[in-house]
Amino acid sequence: MATNTSPVPQWKELITQTTVAHRTKEEGSVLYYVLSTVNLGPSIRPQARYVVHRGFVNEQRSKTTESGVEPAQADYGMNTCLLTTTDIRSPKAQQILKQQQQEGEAHVEIAWWMEKAQLQFRLACTAHLLPHADNEHYMGFDGSKLVPPPASLSSKRPTSFDWAFERSRIFEKMSLGLLASFARPTPGSEHPNGNEIDAEGAGKDHEDGLNDKANPWPMELPKPGDAETKADQDALALSDKNFALVVLAPYKVDVLDLVRSKRSVFELQGGRSGGNEHWTAKRVVP
């Protein structure tokens, strides 16, 4: 949503338009991008993997607005911070936390190819993790720097942006399979039946996939609120405990438009104080 204090940069409009338009039309993969983190030790290495775009902060789908999106918390607009999700125990989360600890902030990069639109986005971002309130890293989340702008200049000062609501709003949208995935042992840790099942089978065929030996944990959990048994309730509580919202705050965005042979670099000027954002745009040689 555009406000006087927060003009929407063109790169964000392109992402919103393309993800809203193509998501349901035979390009489901438009919601996947590559997220690179820095693995600091023992020697510095980049590490990349796909994650799912969960929209921008405070953005939810709308059938009534022209843009196809609207704010989830009505006192606030939307900003340019992207949301994805992960397990707080995962290597990517641990890499972000370690970089924050050692360097004050964590820097990551997104590479995103949208085939139908023939657009590549490269976003340099700081990364911010919002885990469960009981997690030791919860206090490290500096939400005040990431809040979206108030919904309009004239509105009364809104109540503070509710990050706990934002986290649970996204948690509740997780598929049943993803809810279950957060209740497993630590991602990337040794498989409990690893010696008995064929490790080489990964990717070759899917035959050894869906049995109790290969997957000795629930493959799905009920949605929060639907859990009836104690076992499901406990597993969901564990899932919530491990679930982390990842807020990616871009400060430099490189957009390559292959159709028009056009490349532009957008840069955030002076941070995001009070939800205000000012972006410059520069044409560069494609």
The tokens describing 221, both together, are 């959990």
Interface with ligand FMN, residue 84, by CB under 6 A? yes
Least distance CB 217 / ligand FMN (angstroms): 16
> Regarding beta strands 262-268 and 279-284, do their DSSP bridges make them parallel or antiparallel, or are they unpaired?
antiparallel
Least distance CB 112 / ligand FMN (angstroms): 12
Report how far residue 279's alpha carbon sits from residue 85's, in angstroms, rounded to the nearest whole number: 26
Least distance CB 130 / ligand FMN (angstroms): 14
Interface with ligand FMN, residue 167, by CB under 6 A? no
Least distance CB 181 / ligand FMN (angstroms): 9
Report how far residue 250's alpha carbon sits from residue 252's, in angstroms, rounded to the nearest whole number: 6
In this chain, which stretch among 55-63, 85-93, 121-129, 143-151 interacts with ligand FMN, using CB under 6 A? 85-93
Bond before 42 cis per omega within 30 degrees: yes
Ranges within 29-58 binding ligand FMN (CB under 6 A) = 32, 47, 49-52
Report how far residue 120's alpha carbon sits from residue 19's, in angstroms, rounded to the nearest whole number: 13
Interface with ligand FMN, residue 85, by CB under 6 A? yes
In this chain, which stretch among 78-86, 138-146, 160-168, 258-266 interacts with ligand FMN, using CB under 6 A? 78-86
Ranges within 244-283 binding ligand FMN (CB under 6 A) = none
Interface with ligand FMN, residue 113, by CB under 6 A? no
List 188, 194, 216, 286, residue binding ligand FMN (CB under 6 A): 188
Phi, psi at residue 233, to the nearest 5°? Answer: -65, -40
In this chain, which stretch among 86-94, 97-105, 142-150, 216-224 interacts with ligand FMN, using CB under 6 A? 86-94
* Residue that has been written with the tokens 């109540």 in this structure: 159
Report how far residue 32's alpha carbon sits from residue 141's, in angstroms, rounded to the nearest whole number: 24
**Cβ neighbours for 156, distance < 8 A, ≥ 6 positions apart:** none
- Please report, to the nearest 10 degrees, the dihedral formed by the alpha carbons of residues 165, 249, 272, 142 taken in order: 50
Report how far residue 122's alpha carbon sits from residue 117's, in angstroms, rounded to the nearest whole number: 15
Least distance CB 85 / ligand FMN (angstroms): 5
What is the rounded radius of gyration, in angstroms, for the C-alpha atoms of the chain?
20
Least distance CB 46 / ligand FMN (angstroms): 11
Tell me whether residue 51 or residue 82 sits nearer to ligand FMN (CB atom): 51
Please give the residue ranges that form the binding site for ligand FMN (CB under 6 A): 32, 47, 49-52, 84-86, 90-92, 187-188
